[in-house]
Structure 1
């Protein structure tokens, strides 16, 4: 039997709190799961620093990746199989892309990427196509199979229906992380009727569409996403922790570049500081490595690195205030001078941060990162764009919401009766 069609002697199942069970019968899927690169995702949290706000948010990208795979498996095997619009030959590449779509995420994901100007999607491609165990397993299907999987994740695969299952405004990725993140954070916002959505999904040549009768379930899904972003993903306290994490890495890089003698050398980071790292070094990093360094750097002689690491490890986070860069940009210069007078380096202790989200967008042809909208399939077979039919979705469609905050160590400013501290706090709160 060809490897791509080989089944396990007995179905393997993962017990899952969101989907109850995740079913694996394909030999390829099972072998990919057991590679070192995929197992590494157990050591990368799905929500980065959010566990410092919602203490249950300790779940990993390993769990999420299995969840996305399971949703796609159900869509294909239970919903699309046998339909003329679905090409059964695309099944395995779609399942592998679903399973591996987050393979390139680094420790604390987006914060780590910002510091070193990296792109996790680039590293997903590198792992799929490089000298890795994942590449070796996928190559057993055919020499060009790893490239096919990479193309699906990169949104360049010729079958747009396959791509839409993994990456669109109503894809398996979003359907899993909304429910999974809601479950582990303990909030109610991310719950929606996924079972209903799966029942009304229909394949077309270009993308997945939704039967007209499923519109209200999709409305609920869109609003769930909207609420999760502002109540969980952009939570200001989580962003405070992320700011400190980034400043730790900025400080460590600065100290390395200026010849500081570390008590604990940043061995795992040097190649990143010098922009000479290889894929093997990237894969070797996970969150346990970073946290170990942070623990050790709490004892460094450099007071800024030591303080920032202590803040992150022991959750002594920065306070925040609302900040409007359009009308308050003059405030930054004034604050920087006051912070310097107070003996605080504003480079590390006065930080502005912005978060932005577009919950749903209609088709804007030619625009950068244009989004393919969600279409409803009417009873006569016609397709209608969702916001044209739904007043709820229309109300938020195309509307980008942005939130700006300024972060600072209130505990230091409040320590003592220095009038300068009071002046700083007055400016921040003003």
Structure 2
């Protein structure tokens, strides 16, 4: 029997706190879930350092990937099947791409990528196309199937309708992580009426559109996303933990290039430190491995690596003040010099961190990160871009919000070992910032 059409003798279900149940009948999907590369996602948290702010945020990329698969399955089986604009032969490709879309995430995801200049989507494609268990399963469908999955993840697949189901401004990925992250962080911001949105989704030749009667549900979804970014994803305490995490990795890499003799050699990082990351080494990395090194590096001779590792493991985070780097660049330069005088390396102990989000945008051809808009299907059959119909969405369209914070170790500025005059000057500058922003 054709492998692509094989069904399990009995449906498998995963009990899920967001979708109640995740249903698996396709043999291909069940086999992919069982691969070592997919099981690795159990050891990658969905929200990185956010668990240090919201203690319930321990859920994994494994949870989320199953959730995205389930939403796409429902789109197809409950809404799209039987409609003339939907090609049934794309079903398995959509399901596999949804399940595997986050396969290449590294430990602590985006923070890890920034330090080592990596791209999780490139690694996802490399796992799909490389010498892996995932590739072996996909190739059993047909020889070109792994490439088709990689093309969907790379957003280059010829049928843009398939791409839009997993990567657009209203896709299965976002609909799952907003609800899942809200559930595990215990906040209410990320909740929206997904049932309604699924009911009003319609397949079109090159995208998925929304019936005009579902506009208010989409407005709610967009505002939920906006609130989640500023209340959860960009939470200043989580960002403080991420700052320390990135500085630990930077310090370890710097020490490696200085031929520092580690007490606990970071053998899992050698190829990454050298910028020669192999797929085999990358797949071996997960958060349990990284946390092992952080635990061990608390005993290192290097005072910076030792101190930063201790801070992360024991949640002794940096404090922060609001700052506008464009207006206060002289203050930043002065602080850098004062930190050096106080024997505090500003590269590791004075960190400017910026967060930015664009909650919704319409199509701007030629611009970086082109965004396909959300289209409403009007009663006449016309497609109308969402912000032209919704005054709520119009009010935030194209408006990027950016936030800057300066992180520093307040406890070391109180330390008597720090030079008193220098310490007093630093605190005066930082306290002026505090007073201004209250």
Query: TM-score by structure 2 length?
Result: 0.97
Residue 238 (structure 1) aligns with = 238
Partner of 1:126: 126
Residue 422 (structure 2) aligns with:
420
Distance of 2:96 and 2:431 partners within structure 1: 51
* SS of residue in 2 equivalent to 1:261: coil
- C-alpha separation in 1, matches of 2:3 and 2:79: 25
Residue deviations 1:315-372, cap 9 Å, x none? Answer: 0000011111110111121111111111111111011111100000011122222111
Q: Which residue of 2 aligns with 1:429?
A: 431
Task: Report the number of matched residues.
Answer: 430
What are structure 2's unaligned runs of at least 5 residues?
433-438
User: Does the aligned pair in 1 maintain the 2:225–2:359 contact within 8 Å?
Assistant: yes
Q: Which residue of 1 aligns with 2:111?
A: 111
> Distance in 2 between the 1:426 and 1:117 partners?
36
Write the distance in 2 (CA, Å) between the matches of 1:167 and 1:86.
17
Q: Which residue of 1 aligns with 2:436?
A: none
Counterpart secondary structure, 2:62? helix
User: Once the two structures are superposed, what CA deviation does each residue of 1:388-410 show, in whole Å capped at 9, x if it has no partner?
Assistant: 11111111010000111110000
Matches within 5 A, 1:294-305: 294-305=294-305
Could you say which residue in structure 2 is the equivalent of 1:14?
A: 14
How far is 1:277 from its partner?
Answer: 2.4
Take 1:415 and 1:187, find their aligned partners in 2: how far apart are those partners? 37
Decide whether the 8 Å contact of 2:325 with 2:332 is kept in 1.
no
Q: Within 5 Å, give how 1:356-367 maps onto structure 2.
A: 356-367=356-367
RMSD of Structure 2 on Structure 1 (CA): 0.8
The aligned counterpart of 1:46 is 46
- Return the alpha-carbon distance in structure 1 between the equivalents of residues 362 and 391 of structure 2: 14
Q: Which moved more, 1:244-253 or 1:412-421?
A: 412-421
**Shift of residue 419 of structure 1?**
3.2
Question: Structure 1 stretch 420-429 or stretch 393-402: which is displaced more?
Answer: 420-429
Task: Give the match for residue 247 of structure 1.
Answer: 247
Instruction: Report the alpha carbon displacement of residue 428 of structure 1 after superposing the two structures with TM.
Output: 2.2
DSSP 3-state at the match of 2:202: strand
Give the whole-Å Cα distance in 1 for the aligned partners of 2:177 and 2:142: 31
In structure 2, the partner of 1:95 is 95
- How far the C-alpha of 1:260 sits from its partner, in A, is 1.1
Paired position in structure 2 for 1:208: 208
- Quick one: distance in 1 between partners of 2:399 and 2:376? 21
Question: Matches of 1:213 and 1:287 in 2, distance apart?
Answer: 44
The Cα shift of 1:422 comes to 2.2
Match of 2:222 in 1: 222
Local SS of the residue matching 2:381: coil
Q: Secondary structure at the match of 1:268?
A: helix
Q: For residues 399 and 149 of structure 1, what CA distance do their matches in structure 2 show?
A: 33
| 1:175 aligned residue | 175
Q: What pairs up with 1:260-299 in 2 under 5 angstroms?
A: 260-299=260-299
In 1: Cα distance, 2:21 partner to 2:427 partner: 52
